[in-house]
Structure 1
Amino acid sequence: MATSTEARVITLAGIHNFRDYGGYAARAGRLRNGVLWRSGQHSDATPEDLDVVHGLGIATVIDLRGDSERRGNPCLRHRDWSGNVLFHPGETASAEGRAVHEEMAAQVRTADDARNAMLRLYETLPFRPVLVGTYRLYMTALAERESPSLLHCLAGKDRTGLAAALVHSLLGVHHDDIVADYLLTNTAGNAEARIEAGARHVREGFGRSMDDAAVRVLMGVEAPFLDRSFATIAERHGSISAYARDVLGVTPDVLAAMERNLVEG
């Protein structure tokens, strides 16, 4: 059985969706707990939040946001933190300063509009050059470093969700567990506070005519979104492993190193 939801989620005041995505059964054993962390951005972290995060021993942070997002919302770090932040320079969203789910909001009015927009988004996520560049850095870091890492974007749900799902898939986590972990975004920590904050930002940028239900779709995740990314990868590359090898540089040697660092027998 995987680690319980209560054990893997850490509720923080200013960092949303913070959780451990290890603990699942994998091909070579079980993913280690305490080494694979994911979250939203840390620009509103409180001092107490930073103390908690620092206590986890995270040595590598992978920031999936674009350059303008980092400039507009710089993440806060603990005063004693001396790790590395990895990212590929450039924009991961087509609209400067926006998260990827926000760029899809311009034509959205209803929940159905939002779902269709998110499905279109997830067809593109695995192939956006800047995002791919940071995914490559992440895979390399997982192969080369045994220490805990943290993966994040703005809300920790789309760019981060796909990256975590790819790691799970490559390590042989069952698809049901991959989807279940992805869907934890909808309930992890203070999800309502995250949705409220996101709703304000989306409506400020795209007007107030958007239905509340549409905002909730944009600020959450649904299994068909992730399925669309995986299906598009399969259509273009045949399999997740082939995509990871050809696009992300996850050769058999890199994958074996990832398993040594992340999986316990």
Structure 2
Amino acid sequence: MQDRVLPLEGIHNFRDYGGYQARGGTLRKGVLWRSGQHVGATEADLETVQGLGIGTVIDLRGDSERAAYPCLRHPEFGAAVVFEPGETASLKGAAVHEEMAREVVSERDAVNAMTALYERLPFRPVLAGTYRLYLRTLAENDHPTLLHCLAGKDRTGVAAALVHTLLGVHHDDIVADYVLTNTAGDAEARIAAGATAVRSGFGARMEDGAVRVLMGVRPEFLETAFAAIRQQYGSVEAYAEQLLGAGPDAVRAMEANLVA
């Protein structure tokens, strides 16, 4: 799994989420990329990313996050950047895991908060709007894409798992890709940076275990999101069609572009 990860200096959690067995073949490698934000990218990082030939960036952050953490770009960057205007987190300028840090002290508090977040995450209007653009991009293009939010783990994790599910990737592979966040790249540096952010914003009383929950992912979080999708829409396919505008024709187009 670590072979999927690009060892960049200033961009956390940058990795390929293709290469898995899917319905009718294998997801192409080198066309499905995911990461956190790029505000700390080094020149070497930008050279590496530019070399991937990315044609579209899907930015799952809200407007205030983009203003607070503007992504650095290579001088020759020419990709389209797509997003639904508005806020995808309820706390302006913060990632969704940070909005859940209020009143969290213990590890159990953090688990409960993140579970509550994932119950609602797939239905947030602005986020769903960007998910719609994401699926449309994959259906209409066969060039490499980059999917990211602030930390590249929650909004991005649900989005990647959604595409994996629609394309028939095995559940075990979906979960393995999701939890790779916990070990991808310099995870300890990412956790340390996150600890500073959540403690400065929400109090120094937060236990180390709680910080690790907020800055990581657990399989039960993803399971909670997809259980909520199935409860509300009956199936992931119905959710994609009814809320995100990606019906069977769009899924077949995604398969044609992504499965070999």
Common fold by TM > 0.5: yes
- Equivalent in 136, 139, 152 of residue 140 of structure 1: 136
- Equivalent in 6, 22, 46 of residue 18 of structure 2: 22
Q: Please, what is the CA RMSD of the aligned residues?
A: 0.6
Superposed CA offset, 1:162-212 (max 9, x none): 000000000000001000000000000111111111111111110110001
Q: 1:256 aligns to what?
A: 252
* Percentage of matched positions with identical amino acids: 67
CA distance, structure 2, for counterparts of residue 261 and residue 201 of structure 1: 39
Question: What amino acid sits opposite 1:24 in the alignment?
Answer: Y
Q: 2:223 aligns to what?
A: 227
Q: 1:173 aligns to what?
A: 169
Q: Quote the offset at 1:7 in angstroms.
A: 2.2
SS at match of 2:220: helix
Q: 2:152 aligns to what?
A: 156
TM-score, with normalisation over the residues of structure 2?
0.99
SS at match of 2:151: coil
SS at match of 1:81: coil
**Does 2:117 align with 1:121?**
yes
User: What residue ranges of structure 2 are gaps of 5+ in the alignment?
Assistant: none
The aligned runs of 1:40-119 (5 Å cut-off) are 40-119=36-115
Superposed CA offset, 1:107-143 (max 9, x none): 1000000000000000011000000000000000000
Q: Which runs of 4+ in 1 moved over 4 A?
A: none
CA distance, structure 1, for counterparts of residue 106 and residue 126 of structure 2: 30
User: What residue ranges of structure 1 are gaps of 5+ in the alignment?
Assistant: none
TM-score, with normalisation over the residues of structure 1?
0.97
CA distance, structure 1, for counterparts of residue 19 and residue 48 of structure 2: 20
Q: 1:33 aligns to what?
A: 29
Q: 1:10 aligns to what?
A: 6
SS at match of 1:38: strand
